[in-house]
A = this chain, B = another copy of it.
Amino acid sequence: MTQSFFPPHRVLMGPGPSDVSPRVLGALGRPTIGHLDPLFVNLMDDVKGLLQYAFQTDNALTLPISAPGSAGMEACFVNLVSPGDTVIVCRNGVFGGRMQENVERCGATAIMVEDDWGQPVSLDKVAAAFSAHPEASLLAFVHAETSTGARSDVAALCALARKHGALSIVDSVTGLGGIELQVDAWGADAVYSGTQKCLSCIPGLSPVTFSPRAVERIQNRSHKVQSWFLDMQLVMGYWGGSSKRAYHHTAPINLLYALHEALLMLREEGLEAAHARHRLHHQALVAGLGALGLEMAVAAEHRLPQLNAVRIPEGIDDTRLRQTLLQDFNLEIGAGLGALAGKTWRIGLMGQACNRSNVILCLTALSTALQQQGLATDTGAALVAADAVLQA
């Protein structure tokens, strides 16, 4: 007979979900009200305003899609791509490949710009792709590659797209809240994110924002959006600013309570302070990992502070080590994804998970687990190195 499920308390330092604050879990579990209740409609407006702050945008079309990040990605593509279009897609990790799938399923052509995994997107290659394909109407790339831990230059890439008369789609699933993202100042046209990364909310929603230029393209489509659920003209009617909302689907009420609380916490801390916290603890973690003799997989200048890709030392059993962390320390770190499976670990320092205790726990647990597999490490040295950064 199946029983009620009582999860253990894990420390979530993988690629997401990240640690969720008790404040957010508390909000999540509050009584459900109707999705057309005037109080809920007010909450939707608040969430919109808080998301505009997080995205640093005045875009009116800023809201959470009622499904995970993959659906947010799809919402951007199905609304901005029409059959026959040419889209330049940058692939420097798993998620560029997923973008290609989206473009092709829209009946459009994806021109792939390839960079090595762990490298940022190359501006020169993108410029060359635009020269070779002046008909391209869209540039799509990943801000913070969750599969590799590399950061790309959103401002420069969006400027390139504009220069060539194209719109931009930016995947910032892992970026939002952890590193700088200036949607308006950088001229990004469509950005999607997730709630379970640096916002430290539970998974299940995908914040998106569309520039006025993107909205104009959506409104001028001659071909209906292939997804009814993700058709932004319909979603707009539900989330729109007017007092009269058109029923589209039932919003996942309690998830919105949780997102609202997580966004409040971000605003209370302030974006710049949150970014600084991510940088600082990242530096501390890197110092500690170095003292353990571990190597980072991404060059320092391209590293995401919130997602640290670490090379697995020769002779270490990846699966066994992560099992030790989970079973003996209730600590989750991420495995490598795609081409990096078995070669790297992905250690997240996302949102609420980005704190001193977690850095200490992670270094201690890793060191212990490596020792169990015969590697000589110095736990004390790692903790001293990390704390030196934090005290500086």
Interface residues of A (CB under 8 A from B): 2-10, 12, 14, 16-17, 19-20, 23, 25-40, 43, 46, 49-50, 66-71, 73-74, 98, 101-102, 104-106, 194, 196, 202-204, 224-229, 247-255, 257, 260-261, 264, 267, 326, 332, 335, 337
CA distance A5 to B12 in the complex (A): 26
Asked if B31 and A7 sit within 8 Å, CB to CB, the answer is yes
Of A43, A73, A226, A251, most B-chain CB atoms within 10 Å: A226
User: Complex formed: what's the CA distance from A106 to B67 in Å?
Assistant: 21
A-B pairs with lowest CB-CB distance, top 3? A29-B29, A204-B252, A67-B67
The CA of A253 and the CA of B12, in the complex, are separated in Å by 13
Q: How long is the Cα–Cα vector from A34 to B325 in the complex, in angstroms?
A: 13
Cβ contact within 8 Å between B255 and A204? yes
Q: How far is A376 from B226 in the complex, measured between Cα atoms in Å?
A: 52
Q: A337 — nearest CB in chain B belongs to which residue? A: B247
A66 and B10 contacting across the interface, CB-CB below 8 Å = no
Cβ of A257: which chain B residues have Cβ within 8 Å of it?
Answer: 5, 7
Chain B residues with CB under 8 Å of A228's CB are 70, 73-74, 98, 101-102, 105
Of B3, B34, B66, the contact of A332 (CB 8 Å cutoff): B34
* Residues of B contacting A35 in the complex (Cβ-Cβ under 8 angstroms): 17, 203
Number of copies: 2
Given that A68-B66, A202-B253 are known contacts, is A34 also in contact with B14, CB under 8 Å in the complex?
A: yes
> How close is A318's CB to chain B, nearest CB, in angstroms?
14
Q: Give every chain B residue within 8 A of A20 (Cβ-Cβ).
A: 31-32
User: With A and B bound together, what is the CA distance between A227 and B69 in angstroms?
Assistant: 14
The minimal Cβ–Cβ distance linking A47 to chain B, given in whole angstroms, is 9
Do residues A202 and B25 form an inter-chain contact, with CB atoms below 8 A? no
Task: Tell me, rounded to whole Å, the shortest Cβ–Cβ distance linking A154 to chain B.
Answer: 23
Beta-carbon contact of A32 and B4 below 8 Å: no
> What separation, in Å, do the CA atoms of A33 and B67 have in the docked complex?
18
Interface pair A105/B226, CB less than 8 Å apart: yes
A10 in complex: contacting residue of B3, B37, B202, CB < 8 Å: B37
Determine whether the beta carbon of A68 is less than 8 Å from that of B224. Answer: no
A4–B204 CB distance below 8 A:
no
A4 touches B27 (CB 8 A): yes
8 more contacts with CB within 8 A, not counting A101-B228, A202-B252, A255-B255, are: A2-B49, A5-B43, A5-B257, A7-B31, A7-B32, A69-B250, A105-B224, A204-B254
Q: Which of A3, A29, A40 has the most chain B CB within a 10 Å cutoff?
A: A29
B17 touches A30 (CB 8 A): no
Chain B residues with Cβ under 8 A from A194's Cβ? Answer: 250
When distances are taken between beta carbons in the complex, the residues of chain B under 8 Å from A2 are 46, 49-50, 260, 264, 267
The 8 Å CB contact of A248, one of B70, B229, B249, B332, is B70
Q: Which residues of B contact A253 (CB under 8 A)?
A: 17, 202-203
Most buried by B among A69, A105, A264: A105
**Residues of B close to A102: CB separation below 8 A:** 228
Chain B proximity of A275: nearest CB distance (Å):
21
Can you name 16 A-B pairs with beta carbons within 8 Å? Answer: A5-B257, A5-B261, A8-B39, A9-B31, A14-B36, A29-B29, A32-B203, A34-B332, A66-B71, A68-B249, A71-B71, A104-B224, A202-B253, A203-B251, A247-B337, A252-B252
B residues less than 8 Å from A50 (CB atoms): 2
- From residue A98, how far is it (CB to closest CB) to chain B in Å? 7
Is B5 a contact partner of A27 (Cβ separation < 8 A)?
yes
Given known contacts A4-B264, A66-B204, A252-B204, A12 and B33 CB-to-CB distance under 8 angstroms: yes
